[in-house]
Amino acid sequence: MKNKRRWYSWLLFALVVVAVGWVVYRNIGEIRQYDFNYNFRFILLAFAFEVLAYLAQFRIWVSLSGEYGLKAPVLKAAKGFFVSQLGKYIPGKVGLVLVRMDAYRGHSKKKIAVATGVEMTISLASACLLTLVGVVSASSLLPAYALWIAVFGFVAILVFLYPPLFLRIINFGFKLIKREPLEKSPPFKTMLKFIFAFMFVGLLHGAGLFFALKSLSPIAFSQYLTITGVYYAAGLVGFFAIFAPAGIGVREGILMLVLPQFIAEPVVIVGAIVIRLLMTATELLLAGIFSILEKISQNQK
């Protein structure tokens, strides 16, 4: 059964990649003929915003994990965090948790898993809110149901994060796998603080996509929030598509489906590829830098 699920996952992933590849192939002629206004300064700016977004996300993780008593030296925690980001490229997202468990040796694996789960849930709530902001800013361009989906998703996650309910759901899961129950979760006010902190991270990632697109063609700054909202809506779909490592293909497909309503399709196609490359390059760079720094720190002891 497990081998069948894995086979289905890879089949779905292949179908998504083929579908996105077909969109690119179908528009290859238009892409070649399009008069791109290349501006590599905006590419560098997009890369800088990606780096800032990941560094800000790490700072939030340090604060959030501290709520569960997870402590580690800064370089070790940074190495664990940024290397764990590469775990997203393993279908099912389990690699992210496994790498963090290695970074926090000596701590409860349950607490590490719960802290990571809370981080994911809070990031989903912030993504829903950013999607809502994007939908409102482009209400004339998107169907009405998109607004209600964003509102419903955000409210549902807020209800899930309400501490008494959150503890019941988490502990029910622990009971099924015969683990000790979790005693407490961060206060609701703290949860909300992390949601807005993740929104800041989202605005940085949105700026990365905005400048990646702007490096190819003139785009008004008034479209920034809409682009960010669409980016995070695509990210939400990519997150739940567990068959796609790091949402590869799914996120790009949604961007290519929605953004051409107000941005030239060749720009969207190339921009979606560029931001994926920049995001992956940032993850590899930060994982490499902090792995080296942590290694040097260990050798000096």
- Residue 10 inside a domain? The answer is no
**pLDDT tens-digit series, residues 48-97:** 999 999 999 999 999 988 887 888 788 888 888 888 887 676 655 555 66
Q: Tell me the angle at which helices 163-176 and 109-137 cross, rounded to the nearest 10 degrees.
A: 130
In angstroms, the CA 114 to CA 65 distance is 9
- 31 pLDDT tier (thresholds 50, 70, 90): low
Rounded average pLDDT over 213-238: 87
| Cα–Cα distance for residue pair 50/259, rounded to 1 Å | 20
Residue 207 has a pLDDT of 95
Average pLDDT, the chain: 77
The reply to whether 29 falls in a domain is no
Asked if the model's pLDDT at residue 11 lies above 70, the reply is no
Higher pLDDT, residue 159 or 89: 159
Tell whether 83 is covered by a domain: yes
What average pLDDT score do residues 220-226 get? 89
Residue 23 has pLDDT above 60, yes or no: no
pLDDT score at 13: 46
Residue 23 located in a structural domain: no
Q: Is the pLDDT of residue 5 over 50?
A: no
**Residue 121 counted as domain residue:** yes
- Mean pLDDT in residue range 216-235: 88
Per-residue pLDDT, averaged over 157-180, amounts to 72
pLDDT tens track for 251-292: 877 888 888 888 888 888 888 888 888 988 999 899 899 988
What is the pLDDT at residue 77? 85
* Domain encompassing residue 253: 37-299
Q: Which residue pairs from 194-198 have beta carbons closer than 8 angstroms and sit at least 24 positions apart in sequence?
A: 194/60, 194/63, 194/64, 194/122, 195/122, 195/125, 195/126, 195/129, 196/126, 197/56, 197/60, 197/63, 198/57, 198/60, 198/122, 198/123, 198/125, 198/126, 198/127
- The mean per-residue pLDDT over the stretch 157-183 comes to 71
- What's the structural domain count of the chain? 1
